Amino acid sequence: MQIQVENLGRKFNKDWIFRNFDTTFQSNQPVAITGANGSGKSTLLQIIAAILPATEGKVKYTYRQKNIEEDKIFRYLSLAAPYQELIEEFTLQESVVFHLQFKPFRNQLAAGEFIKKIGLEKARNKPVKNFSSGMKQRLKLGLAFFSDTPILLLDEPTSNLDKNGVDWYQQHLSDNIADRLVLICSNQPYEYEICKRIIHIQDSLIYIR
């Protein structure tokens, strides 16, 4: 998988959040996106995910030498983020079955096996609206980790997780990045230890380290 960003910029009212950004993201080369709160990390990730439009520039997607149209890229990516909504009326079991109608799990993982992997067996029949914030985060991360997609996008991935949850995140992140294009928005180094490349946003400028 390859994502090519050309002259990318996003404006809020009259102020540029960032602009003139050019880079290429590749599978098997995890990248961290860092920057102060409000610097534009999540905005950049949402533009790459085709959730938000860019003010200027463009994003090109290529998978197995084939160009993917922007309005089709959702089929190729998994996202876990604080602004991501879950269907609160569903039980955990119903949430997983519903998700599988759109994206299968990696390695043909079954719904029951998935629930065990996220450590929520006892909550199988519990409505998501009654989950703690940490349980909801495990569900979001699990759906992102285990979905059979070539792109994995994570924004503040350990939000609301305790130490056991953070350990779970680090283990399953390492186990589920092979042959995937991975982008992680974070200011916590333990969330992006796997990343050899860092993109830092500061004062409307983007620095690549």
CATH number (domain holding residue 102): 3.40.50.300
66-to-4, 69, 88, 100, 177 alpha-carbon distances in Å: 13, 10, 37, 25, 21
Q: Would you state the structure tokens that stand for residue 145, as one six-digit string?
A: 């980790």
- Nearest to 71, CA basis, from 61, 81, 79, 63: 61
Q: CA–CA separation, 13 vs 151, rounded Å?
A: 30
Three-class SS state of 178:
coil
Distances (CA, A) of 166 to 13, 72, 188: 37, 32, 11
Number of domains in the chain: 1
How many Å is the Cα radius of gyration of the chain? Answer: 17
What's the pLDDT tens digit per position in 55-77? 999 999 999 999 999 999 999 99
pLDDT tens, residue by residue, 158-188: 999 999 999 999 999 999 999 999 999 999 9
49, 77 in Cβ contact below 8 A? yes
Amino acid at 2: Q
Instruction: Please state whether the predicted TM-score (pTM) of the whole model is above 0.85.
Output: yes
The helix (H) or strand (E) run that includes residue 85 is none
Q: What is the mean pLDDT of the chain?
A: 96
Domain holding 138, by residue range, is: 2-208
The mean-pLDDT minimum among 12-21, 48-57, 71-80, 87-96 falls in 12-21
pLDDT tens profile 129-161: 999 999 999 999 999 999 999 999 999 999 999
What is the CA 4 to chain-centroid distance, rounded? 17
- The band of 22, judged by pLDDT with boundaries at 50, 70 and 90, is very high
